[in-house]
Amino acid sequence: MNGLKKFFVLRNLTVSTILYSLLFLWFIVSIFPFFWAFMTSIKHPVDAFSMPPVWLFEPTLNAYKALWIDGEFMHYFNNTMFISIGSVIIALIIGCPAGYALARYTNASSFYLLLAALVFRALPRTLFILPFYFIAQVTGLFDTRILLMLIMVSINQPFTIWMLRSFFMNIPKSIEEAAMIDGCTRFQAFRYVIVPIMGPGVITAGIFTFILAYSEYFIPVVLTATRAATMPVAIAQFGVDNVKEWAISAAGAVSIALPVIIIVIIAQKYIVEGLTAGAVKE
C-alpha cells in the first residue's frame, strides 16, 4: 500500500516538473531575445562580437550615449511620443461617445458597423495608405507628425471603438435611465454619469491604442522622410546588416522596447483583459 502511495506522489511530482519545465522553456524562448539584446547593448563592441559569448564583461553605456546624446534618437523618440500620445487622446475623445452609442443602440445598423470594423481590421494597410503617398506630397503634409497622428487615429478607430463598446456594454442601462429621470438629456447622462465611471475600460483601450500607434512601421516608413520619422522607422534603418553599429542598434531596440515593457509590467491586468474582452463573451 505504501509503495502504491509513493508511486502516485512521484507521478504527480514528475508531471508537475514536466509542466513547469515546458512552461519555463516557453518563457525563456519568449524572453531570451530581449535579454540578449540588452546584454549586447551594454557590452563593448569587442565583447559584443565574440563567439562564444562573453558572460562576464565590463558593462558600458557607450551605446546608449551614442544613440541618445550624440545621435538623433531623441528626435525620433519625441516624434513617436507626440504621435502616439496625440493619437490616443484624439482616438478616445471621438471613440468613447461612438463606443457608447454602439453599446446602447440596438438597431441592426449597430451590428453592421461592428461587422465593418472587423472587415476594416482585415484589410491590408496599402489599401488606405497608397493614395496618401501623393496626396500628402501635394498638400505639403508629407513627413508631418500631424498627418501620421490623424491617420493612426482613423485606422485604429474600428479596433478602439470595438473595445470601448464591450466595456460600455458592462455598465447597466439603469444608471443612465436614473440620470435621465433625474433630469439629464442623453448627452448630460453620458457626461456626468457614464464618463466618470468608464475609467478601467478607457485605460485599457488607451493602452492598446497607444501601443498600436507606437509600434506602427509601415505607415511611417511610407509617409515620412526625416522630420517626422518614428523610432521603429529609425531603428529599422540600422537593419540586420549593420555589424559595426550593432551595440548601438541593440541599445535602440532596448530603448524602444523599454516603455512598452514597463507598461506591460504595470498594466498587465488591463492588457490581458483588453485582449480577451472581445473574444470571451460572458
Site residues for another protein, 241-280, by CB under 8 A, read: 243, 246, 249-250, 253, 256-257, 260-261, 263-265, 268, 271-272, 275-276, 279-280
Min separation Cβ 4 and another protein, Å: 19
- Cβ proximity to another protein: between 1 and 161 the closer is 161
Binding map of another protein across residues 30-59, x = CB under 8 A, - = no contact: xxxxx-xx--x-------xx-xxx------
Contact 233, 217 (CB under 8 A): yes
CA 223 to chain centre: 20
Out of 58, 131, 140, 225, the only residue in the binding site for another protein (CB under 8 A) is 131
CB nearer to another protein: pick between 1 and 246? 246
Judge whether 63 and 44 are in contact, CB under 8 Å: no
Per-residue contact string for residues 97-126; x = within reach of another protein by CB under 8 A: xx-xxx-xxxx-x---x------xxxxxxx
Find the DSSP H helices in 54-144.
62-64, 73-104, 108-122, 126-139
Q: Packing angle between helix 108-122 and helix 145-168, nearest 10 degrees? A: 130
* Cis before 45 (ω within 30): no
**Binding window for another protein (CB under 8 A); candidates: 1-9, 58-66, 67-75, 173-181:** 173-181
- What is the closest distance, in whole angstroms, from the C-beta atom of residue 276 to another protein in the complex? 4
Residue of 64, 76, 132, 167 that binds another protein (CB under 8 A)? 132
Q: Is 146 in the site for another protein (CB under 8 A)?
A: no
CA angle 208, 212, 216 (to 5 degrees): 170
Residues 206-225 that bind another protein (CB under 8 A): 211, 214-215, 217-218, 221-222
Kindly tell me which of 74 and 116 has the beta carbon lying closer to another protein. 116
CB of 69 to another protein, least distance (A): 21
C-alpha cell at position 124: 491590408
Residue 157 has phi, psi (to 5 degrees) of -55, -45
Q: Give CA–CA dist 160/156, Å, rounded.
A: 6
Q: How far apart are CA 138 and CA 150, in angstroms?
A: 17
Give the C-alpha separation, 57 to 55, whole Å: 6
Q: Which of 133, 170, 226, 244 binds another protein (CB under 8 A)?
A: 133
